[in-house]
A and B are shown apart, each in its own frame.
Chain A
Amino acid sequence: MRSLKRFFTRMFNTAAGPAQDERFREEIEEHIALQTAENLRSGLSPVEARRQAILKFGAVEAIKEEYQAERGLLWIEVLVQDVRYSLRLLRKSPGFTIAAVLTLALAIGANAVVFGVLNGLVLRPLNLPQEQSLWGIDRGGIGFESYPNYLDLRDRNRSFEDLAAVNLCYVGLDTGQDPSSVWGVEATGNFFDALGVQPYLGRFFHPSDERGPNSAPYIVLSYAYWHVHFQDDRAVIGRTVRLNKHPFTIVGITPPAFHGTIMFFSPDFFVPLVNQEQVQGESVLDKRANRRGIFEALGHLKPGVTPAQAIADLNSIGADLEKTYPKEDSKMRFTLARPGLGGDFLGGPIRGFVAGLMLLAVLILLAACANLGSLFGARAADRAREIALRLALGSSRSRILRQLFTEAMLISFAGGAAGLWGSIALLRQLSAWQPFPRFPMSVPVSPDANVYGVALVFALVSGILFGIVPVRQVLRANPYEIVKAGSTGRVGRRITVRDLLLVVQIAICAVLVTSSLVAVRGLARSLHSNFGFQPHNVMLIGTDLNMAGYGGDRVAPMQRQMIDAMAAIPGVKSVGLVDLPALTFDGHRMIVFTDKTTDLRPSNAAAQPFMFNISPEYFDAAGTTLLFGRTFTWHDDKNAPSVAVINQEFARKIFGSATDAMGGYYKMRDGTRVQVVGIVEDGKYFNLAEDQEPAMFLPIPQAPTSMLQSPLSQAWLVVRTAGDPQQLATAVRNKLRDLDGSLPAYISPWEKEMDGVLFAPRVATVALGVLGVMGAMLSLTGIFGMAAYSVSKRMRELGIRMALGAQRREVLQAALGRAFKLLALGSAAGLVLGILASRVLASIVYQANPRDPLVLAGVVLAMALLGLLATWIPAQRALSVDPLQLLREE
């Protein structure tokens, strides 16, 4: 109690400032006056009386200091003093200060940005209540599940409080004013209840609304869509909109921060999954074998249920389902995954990549600290004489260290603040980023308290890290020796801490440069690799006849008409039709069996090739080379025997070789025997990093009936043009309008549509490239600092050498030999480490091969260039030494 009171009084006194010192001065006066009077009375002369009184009082200054220490909080005053002194020192060397603050700002900024991404994407991805207990169900690496299986899991599990499910959909939404294609979510009735989300306006749909297929024509709009398209009009509740021509009633608006449960995706609306037939044109809700019914099932685990228990629970249901439905269900082994990414399908690579980036960013920070540490060490060495003087005058070593630390902290906080400011701006930009024109992205990385906290910790830690470097120097300083010998310092052969720091720093930077070069090279390769088609000069036209009200037998003739219309446009070389173009981040796969297989259960499947349903001219339009046999004709229709064109991988995998495959048969899931009539070159189908996958191409009229949409109403026209396809966009649009004015069409060059698959490698390349450049900059400043310091320390020695007749080469070697040796050592270590670390990159960056001689040469060249650049100015300085002047001065 007492000491607390004392503490607060002292706090107050510290703040109140020196006005209070007046009191003490007055008390001294009075004391001495009284003592003098007493001395006078005892018979001393006035002068002697005052002298004795002062003597008796004691050392005024010492007492005053004690008094002041008692009055206020000494450490705060010392801190203020240190801060003032450090600021003065830093202002005196602006170059050092700016370089140090900038270095740290970059390093801490990079860390804050990467952590912001980590925080947004991995730590709190969906921004939902109680997200820790929310899990998605994953089967075989992906979250897709069929609706009947989902219902069994939902009703029979004992682990989840409630199990909801979502699916993505892309439909024509007509609000009465602007019909447009929008992305939405089909959700089960219990979706909002299971998540515990409350509507912003109106109500959500509930399980009680579902009474069988198409029984719940309700739509919940997202806040953003409502805000933009209805201008926050509260009267929209109860109004009717049309989804693919079917009426749906608006029942509610989601809260602004709610983006559903699919990461990166911010849907415009939510509709009940039971209405899938109306929304998508066809329903797969009754097809147990079709896993495209549900993108992801998710729910909160019951309190006290561990993920392991939940998995065991799900697997026992799965085993039972396998027994009950042997034809439809196989490999019913479940795991739990963080929700939002469709199981572990995307989550793994993203988490791995962000974690890898974080590691590299921390490396940057470490390199920056090593850099600043050696700078600080050099500064302390330069100030050795000052420090020695202060020690000699009675300053304690801890006091000197405290001042040095204050200086380090000032720099690190300034750097941290600047870095954080930059990273906040960058993260805000990133949050608003819409990289895909066709798809509403949501990158939830806006900075929050976590990011600020981490930036602060980074600043603190780095301040301590580089502030600690000169400690040993100060502790071991012998004032007597230093004052006597002057601050020339030893130029010994000893390996100092600073040398070690420089090597470490250069090694780290070389790792960064290596990884960024590997990434850039990988991207360059993936851009020029063989896709199995030629996207250059090809226009894709996405059409959805279902949206325009076409169905059944009207689809095929309309598609024929569209192809003919496009082919008639001047400048068009060929036109094909495909259900889904390759490498647009979507794809169908279908299991197939060898011809000999009779028991067609999924576990007996021979392969699961990608499937493309195409028109006869597709290969021409896409630029895919036919190696053997023939392509289709329009006579390969429903009534003709089933035929297929396969790729080389398919032929190799099922038939052994291309010659065996030609004319051979294989079986589809429903038992249809399909004859191979042609073989085309291999290609990439889903993403660039995939291993070679089998693929089959089927004539559109023979598309399997278990497909989501049959007849194939949603399809892409592939239009190969002679020149820039963009020039034909208007002609294409006009032609389509002539055919049917209500047909929504999406027109885009194929190369642009491939942005989706190139997105990941591009992001990786940009991120790694930026880190690489930062690493290069850091090593530049690091080597420069070291070289400049070593030259300035040895000016006198160099002068003597030159006076004694040393040649330029010898002078340079003396001045910079050490710097170059350290550079070479660090680069070599970094290169080796980089090659090892680059294995991590291989999962994201297609064809990342660190043993690529071009990369190795690039790294060596880059580091050598950096070294040359960094030592240029110090070298010039060393060579311009005028021995006469120098020897006279020092």
Chain B
Amino acid sequence: MKQKTDVQQGTLALMVLKTLDVLGSLHGYGIARRIEQISGDLLAVNQGTLYPVLLKLEQEGAIASEWGASENNRRARFYRLTREGRKQLQVETQDWEQTAAIIGRFFDAKAEDLS
């Protein structure tokens, strides 16, 4: 049985980058909420898996983080996209779209097209 949360790390990373690109600086919970909203219940359980991905992206230099105050005035870690991250997002978006397009064409193909 394949679980809904069993998202490939790469996919999740790409979603994080896109989210930060659109919304700017955001804390972990915000990112999780946003991904949940857009992707339906992809992160409905196991929201925690987001954090290792965030750390990996940060160690790669794609995102940066600093402490800030959250909406209920608690200390929270805010993440934002770096220039390097923006570049990475561009490249990976292109890659993704290309792959998606190929797979899409493949699914659309009828039996007579393949023969």
- Spell out A's residues near B (CB within 8 Å): 2-3, 5-6, 9-10, 23-24, 26-28, 30-31, 33-35, 37-38, 55-60, 63, 66-67, 69-71
Task: Give every chain B residue within 8 A of A38 (Cβ-Cβ).
Answer: 33
Q: Determine if B76 and A56 form an interchain contact, defined as CB atoms under 8 angstroms apart.
A: no
Task: Give every chain A residue within 8 A of B29 (Cβ-Cβ).
Answer: 30-31, 34-35
Q: Which of B16-74 contact A (CB under 8 A)?
A: 27-29, 32-33, 44-49, 51-52, 55-56, 59-61, 70-72, 74
Q: Determine if A33 and B48 form an interchain contact, defined as CB atoms under 8 angstroms apart.
A: no
Task: Give every chain B residue within 8 A of A27 (Cβ-Cβ).
Answer: 28, 51, 76-77
A3 CA to B61 CA in the complex, in Å? 10
Contacts A27-B28, A34-B70; A5 near B47 (Cβ below 8 A) = no
- Measured CB to CB, the nearest residue on chain B to A29 is B74
Q: Determine if B52 and A70 form an interchain contact, defined as CB atoms under 8 angstroms apart.
A: yes
Q: Determine if A55 and B70 form an interchain contact, defined as CB atoms under 8 angstroms apart.
A: no
Of A2, A30, A66, A67, which contacts B70 at CB under 8 A? Answer: A30
A55 CA to B47 CA in the complex, in Å? 9
Task: Give every chain A residue within 8 A of B110 (Cβ-Cβ).
Answer: none
At the interface, yes or no: B75 with Cβ under 8 Å from chain A?
Answer: yes
Q: Determine if B77 and A23 form an interchain contact, defined as CB atoms under 8 angstroms apart.
A: yes
A690 CA to B88 CA in the complex, in Å? 82
Q: Determine if B60 and A5 form an interchain contact, defined as CB atoms under 8 angstroms apart.
A: yes
- Measured CB to CB, the nearest residue on chain B to A13 is B59
Q: Determine if A6 and B72 form an interchain contact, defined as CB atoms under 8 angstroms apart.
A: no
Shortest Cβ distance from B108 into chain A, in angstroms? 35
Q: Determine if A55 and B45 form an interchain contact, defined as CB atoms under 8 angstroms apart.
A: yes
Of A3, A30, A66, A70, which contacts B28 at CB under 8 A? Answer: A30
Q: Determine if A58 and B48 form an interchain contact, defined as CB atoms under 8 angstroms apart.
A: yes
- Measured CB to CB, the nearest residue on chain A to B32 is A31
- Measured CB to CB, the nearest residue on chain B to A38 is B33
Task: Give every chain A residue within 8 A of B45 (Cβ-Cβ).
Answer: 55-56, 58
Of B28, B32, B33, B51, the most chain A CB neighbours within 10 A belong to B51
Q: Determine if B75 and A67 form an interchain contact, defined as CB atoms under 8 angstroms apart.
A: no
12 CB < 8 A contacts A-B: A2-B60, A10-B59, A23-B77, A24-B55, A27-B51, A27-B76, A34-B70, A57-B46, A57-B48, A70-B55, A70-B56, A70-B59
A727 CA to B55 CA in the complex, in Å? 89
Task: Give every chain A residue within 8 A of B77 (Cβ-Cβ).
Answer: 23, 26-27, 30
Shortest Cβ distance from A16 into chain B, in angstroms? 13
A67 CA to B76 CA in the complex, in Å? 18
Task: Give every chain A residue within 8 A of B46 (Cβ-Cβ).
Answer: 56-59, 63
A24 CA to B28 CA in the complex, in Å? 11
A60 CA to B52 CA in the complex, in Å? 12
Shortest Cβ distance from B44 into chain A, in angstroms? 7
- Measured CB to CB, the nearest residue on chain B to A63 is B48
Shortest Cβ distance from B34 into chain A, in angstroms? 13
A35 CA to B75 CA in the complex, in Å? 15
Q: Determine if A67 and B55 form an interchain contact, defined as CB atoms under 8 angstroms apart.
A: yes
Q: Determine if A63 and B51 form an interchain contact, defined as CB atoms under 8 angstroms apart.
A: yes
Task: Give every chain A residue within 8 A of B48 (Cβ-Cβ).
Answer: 28, 31, 57-60, 63
Task: Give every chain A residue within 8 A of B74 (Cβ-Cβ).
Answer: 30, 33
Q: Determine if B49 and A58 form an interchain contact, defined as CB atoms under 8 angstroms apart.
A: yes
Of A3, A24, A31, the most chain B CB neighbours within 10 A belong to A31
- Measured CB to CB, the nearest residue on chain A to B30 is A34
Task: Give every chain A residue within 8 A of B55 (Cβ-Cβ).
Answer: 24, 67, 70-71
Task: Give every chain B residue within 8 A of A37 (Cβ-Cβ).
Answer: 72
A58 CA to B71 CA in the complex, in Å? 23
The number of residues on chain B lying at the interface, defined by a beta carbon within 8 Å of a beta carbon of chain A, is 26
Task: Give every chain A residue within 8 A of B71 (Cβ-Cβ).
Answer: 34
Task: Give every chain A residue within 8 A of B47 (Cβ-Cβ).
Answer: 31, 35, 56-58
Q: Determine if B60 and A31 form an interchain contact, defined as CB atoms under 8 angstroms apart.
A: no
Q: A27-B76, A33-B74, A69-B52 provided; 4 other pairs, C-beta below 8 A?
A: A26-B75, A27-B77, A63-B49, A63-B52
Shortest Cβ distance from B37 into chain A, in angstroms? 12
Task: Give every chain A residue within 8 A of B5 (Cβ-Cβ).
Answer: 58
Contacts A6-B60, A26-B75, A63-B52; A56 near B44 (Cβ below 8 A) = yes
Of B33, B52, B75, which contacts A30 at CB under 8 A? Answer: B75
Task: Give every chain B residue within 8 A of A63 (Cβ-Cβ).
Answer: 46, 48-49, 51-52
Q: Determine if A6 and B51 form an interchain contact, defined as CB atoms under 8 angstroms apart.
A: no
Task: Give every chain A residue within 8 A of B60 (Cβ-Cβ).
Answer: 2-3, 5-6
Task: Give every chain B residue within 8 A of A3 (Cβ-Cβ).
Answer: 60
A600 CA to B88 CA in the complex, in Å? 95
Task: Give every chain B residue within 8 A of A31 (Cβ-Cβ).
Answer: 28-29, 32, 47-48
A69 CA to B56 CA in the complex, in Å? 10
- Measured CB to CB, the nearest residue on chain A to B43 is A56
A9 CA to B57 CA in the complex, in Å? 12
Q: Determine if B56 and A6 form an interchain contact, defined as CB atoms under 8 angstroms apart.
A: yes
Of B27, B47, B74, the most chain A CB neighbours within 10 A belong to B47
Q: Determine if A5 and B61 form an interchain contact, defined as CB atoms under 8 angstroms apart.
A: yes
Task: Give every chain B residue within 8 A of A2 (Cβ-Cβ).
Answer: 60-61
- Measured CB to CB, the nearest residue on chain A to B27 is A30
Shortest Cβ distance from B63 into chain A, in angstroms? 13
- Measured CB to CB, the nearest residue on chain B to A53 is B47
- Measured CB to CB, the nearest residue on chain B to A62 is B48
Task: Give every chain B residue within 8 A of A6 (Cβ-Cβ).
Answer: 56, 59-60
Shortest Cβ distance from B65 into chain A, in angstroms? 9
Task: Give every chain B residue within 8 A of A71 (Cβ-Cβ).
Answer: 55, 59
Of B32, B52, B61, B72, which contacts A67 at CB under 8 A? Answer: B52
A375 CA to B33 CA in the complex, in Å? 59
A67 CA to B9 CA in the complex, in Å? 13
A27 CA to B67 CA in the complex, in Å? 10
- Measured CB to CB, the nearest residue on chain B to A5 is B61
Task: Give every chain A residue within 8 A of B51 (Cβ-Cβ).
Answer: 24, 27-28, 63, 67
A235 CA to B56 CA in the complex, in Å? 72
- Measured CB to CB, the nearest residue on chain A to B53 is A70
Shortest Cβ distance from A684 into chain B, in angstroms? 79
A337 CA to B92 CA in the complex, in Å? 67
A56 CA to B47 CA in the complex, in Å? 6
Shortest Cβ distance from B20 into chain A, in angstroms? 16
A24 CA to B50 CA in the complex, in Å? 12
Shortest Cβ distance from A440 into chain B, in angstroms? 65
Shortest Cβ distance from A61 into chain B, in angstroms? 10
Task: Give every chain A residue within 8 A of B72 (Cβ-Cβ).
Answer: 33-34, 37
Task: Give every chain B residue within 8 A of A55 (Cβ-Cβ).
Answer: 45
- Measured CB to CB, the nearest residue on chain A to B71 is A34
- Measured CB to CB, the nearest residue on chain B to A3 is B60
A10 CA to B45 CA in the complex, in Å? 28
A57 CA to B44 CA in the complex, in Å? 9
Contact with A along B85-102 (1 / 0, CB 8 A): 000000000000000000
Of A35, A37, A38, A58, the most chain B CB neighbours within 10 A belong to A58
- Measured CB to CB, the nearest residue on chain B to A58 is B46
A67 CA to B72 CA in the complex, in Å? 26
Shortest Cβ distance from A609 into chain B, in angstroms? 86
Of B29, B49, B60, the most chain A CB neighbours within 10 A belong to B29
A407 CA to B83 CA in the complex, in Å? 47
Shortest Cβ distance from A425 into chain B, in angstroms? 48
Q: Determine if A5 and B59 form an interchain contact, defined as CB atoms under 8 angstroms apart.
A: yes
A27 CA to B76 CA in the complex, in Å? 7
A70 CA to B51 CA in the complex, in Å? 10
Task: Give every chain A residue within 8 A of B33 (Cβ-Cβ).
Answer: 38
A3 CA to B29 CA in the complex, in Å? 27
Task: Give every chain B residue within 8 A of A26 (Cβ-Cβ).
Answer: 75, 77
A70 CA to B50 CA in the complex, in Å? 12
Shortest Cβ distance from A883 into chain B, in angstroms? 58
A583 CA to B103 CA in the complex, in Å? 94
